[in-house]
Amino acid sequence: MARKRPVPFGLRIKDLTFSGVPVRVYEPTAGTGEKKRGLVFFHGGGWMFGSIDEYEEVCQFISLESETTVVSVGYRLAPEHRYPAQLDDCEVVTRHFLSIAATDFGVDPRRVAVGGDSAGANLAAALCQRLSKTQDGHLPSPCAQVLIYPALQMADFHLPSYQQNHSAPILFRDRTVFFFLHYLNGNTSVSQQILEGRHVPVELKLRYKKWLDPDNLPPQFRKGERSPQVSSSHDADAYHVIKQGLDPEISPLLAEDDVLRLTPPTFVLTCEFDVLRDDGILFLKRLREAGVEVTWEHLSDGFHGIISFFNQGWLTFQSSQKGMDSIVRYVKTF
């Protein structure tokens, strides 16, 4: 994980290990006279790909522009490591940072948020739920969560955004199923059953309908929606394989209301041309109904992975800058 790029003016960057997990810490050098805020960031990549190095530009920009100490986490990846390894790594790093933030980094532990993009946003949301159920009074909980086009459930791959953007780069509908399965247990033999909607028993579909019903989406996101040809029966073998994937630790959107009420203030960024768009919108709706303060940024010309194109020369998109600016604005609020 050795860095080769020059360190930008105004930042101090350290490669460290927190509780056995590699991290890169970005510290603004400008003094403000008060303890700084912090953000523990989990990169995307379908729980299989991505790295601290690949998110260097993103983390540098957030740290510099918002004057925030950013901890970028090099959690373990599938297929060598399955759930809950990734989430466990994110938890131990977050707990470790909260315990030393004030003494080692001049960061107020009450102003530390967690966040990430795509699979990393899934980990952030799942972690906030896990921590809310295990509070011991010794460490503060994250003050906010920053969810950038989050993957939040593996119960329904027929939402309008999955239909409208099934072949939109850079995340295809079938690849989303592939990534979830590799994170869960690596058994991709049930991919087709999942794509056909035969992996969830009817009684569970009825239970989840109140949370996943496309009618819960704003009308503009239902345009062109077709009634999916979803099987009314279910494949018991497929359900057995994916059952754990319906647990809120993998599908945070499926958490009960009493858990969501404990969620910290939340920022959600969604993109129009993204299969995961509706996951984010349905989640923020549930959070608002649970009384959680939510800030929503929607990129009408954005696609999945857009922040990874930030500051990439001719590959940079206008919506990359817009998305990054919205993240920085939100981080400055806590």
What integer pLDDT is reported at residue 223 of this predicted model?
80
What integer pLDDT is reported at residue 268 of this predicted model?
98
What integer pLDDT is reported at residue 34 of this predicted model?
83
Q: In the chain, what are the helix, strand and coil shares in percent, each to the nearest 5?
A: 45, 20, 40
Which residues are tagged catalytic?
Answer: 118, 274, 304
pLDDT tens per residue across all 334 residues of the chain: 545 678 888 999 999 999 999 999 999 998 767 889 999 999 999 999 999 999 999 999 999 999 999 999 999 999 999 999 999 999 999 999 999 999 999 999 999 999 999 999 999 999 999 999 887 778 999 999 999 999 999 999 999 999 999 999 999 999 999 999 999 999 999 999 999 999 999 999 999 999 999 999 999 999 866 665 555 688 999 999 999 999 999 999 999 999 999 999 999 999 999 999 999 999 999 999 999 999 999 999 999 999 999 988 888 899 999 999 999 999 999 9
H runs (alpha helix) in the chain: 56-66, 85-105, 119-132, 160-164, 173-184, 191-195, 202-212, 236-242, 257-260, 277-289, 318-331
Long-range pairs, 184-190, Cβ under 8 A, ≥24: 184/82, 184/83, 184/154, 184/242, 184/244, 184/245, 184/250, 185/82, 185/83, 185/241, 185/244, 186/78, 186/79, 186/82, 187/241, 189/241, 190/235, 190/237, 190/238, 190/241, 190/242
Rounded Cα distance, 323 and 197, in Å: 33
User: Dihedral of the CA atoms 276, 278, 281, 284 (nearest 10)?
Assistant: -70
Q: What pTM was estimated for this model as a whole?
A: 0.96
Which residues, listed in sequence order, are joined to residue 25 by a DSSP beta bridge?
14, 71
* Residue 270 backbone phi and psi in degrees, to 5: -125, 160
Q: Which domains does the chain have, with CATH numbers?
A: 11-28+35-156+249-332 (3.40.50.1820)
